[in-house]
Amino acid sequence: MSTPHSPEELQRLYEKRFSGKSAYRNQVWRVLVDAYFSRWIAPNATVLDLGCGHCEFINNVTAATRFGMDLNPDAARHAAPGVRILAQNCAQCWDLPDASLDIVFTSNFFEHLETKADLRETLRQAHRCLRPGGRLIALGPNIRYVHGAYWDFYDHYLPLTELSLGEVLTEVGFTLEEQLPRFLPYTMSQGGQAPVWMLRLYLKLQFAWPLFGKQFLVVARR
């Protein structure tokens, strides 16, 4: 399977892209986990953050066992105590046993895979490693609403919508539970830093999601 960027290139790219934003991003993910994503995560769960980056999601999760997967060497440096980092190509066999995970979570990652074959193999690995009834939760830019701004990022390759992702998920054996075309605004890597209380309010005001949301949310069950 292809790896279009070396670990060292990923490290340089993300250091530059998110320079000075670490504290704010951590605050944002604390709100997202506590106010929204925790509904799917039991305290005794085993959770994998796929494409974990600087580990903002997995560091804020309350779970018995926590994994992150990323080729960026900085992932291990940012991981909280107790988070195990799997530094591997996600489209190759995961270093995890069959049916060992309860949740696979991924945010703004699938668009960085180079080909649809890479995405399909990644989802097959997620399906293999999830327990029956386990869930994959995927958040990402919806090309239907992001349009040309999607290509402002050098490492974007695979444009997706909630529907195209849903198709490949069902192809590899998942059952779709939720397909929201508009969930969160597009990106935190550009623009200002809105107060996190506004994010809490936004998550409660679901009528605002179709107005401002440009990222899909897809939840699928093994």
Q: 1 lies in a domain?
A: no
DSSP 192-209: ----HHHHHHHHH-GGGH
Distance CA 125, CA 76 (A): 22
Task: Indicate which CATH number applies to the domain containing 128.
Answer: 3.40.50.150
188 in Cβ contact with 107 (< 8 Å): no
pLDDT value at position 189?
Answer: 47
Distance CA 30, CA 129 (A): 26
Residues 6 or more apart whose Cβ sits within 8 Å of residue 34 = 60
Distance CA 118, CA 1 (A): 7
Low-confidence ranges of the chain (pLDDT < 70): 1-3, 13-20, 188-192
pLDDT value at position 191?
Answer: 57
**Residue 2: count of CB within 10 angstroms of its CB:** 11
Q: 153 lies in a domain?
A: yes
Q: 163 lies in a domain?
A: yes
Q: 121 lies in a domain?
A: yes
Alpha helices (runs of H) in 36-106, residue ranges in sequence order: 56-59, 74-78
Pairing state between β 46-50 and 101-107: parallel
Q: How many domains would you assign to the chain?
A: 1
Q: Which residues pair with 136 in a beta bridge?
A: 104, 220
Sequence letter at residue 51: G
Q: Which of 69, 73, 78 is nearest to 104 (CA)?
A: 69
Query: What single-letter DSSP state applies at residue 113?
Result: S
Provide the edge-to-edge strand list for the sheet that holds 130-141. Answer: 83-86, 65-69, 46-50, 101-107, 130-141, 215-221, 175-180
pLDDT value at position 1?
Answer: 45
pLDDT value at position 190?
Answer: 53
* Residue ranges making up the domain that contains 157: 7-221
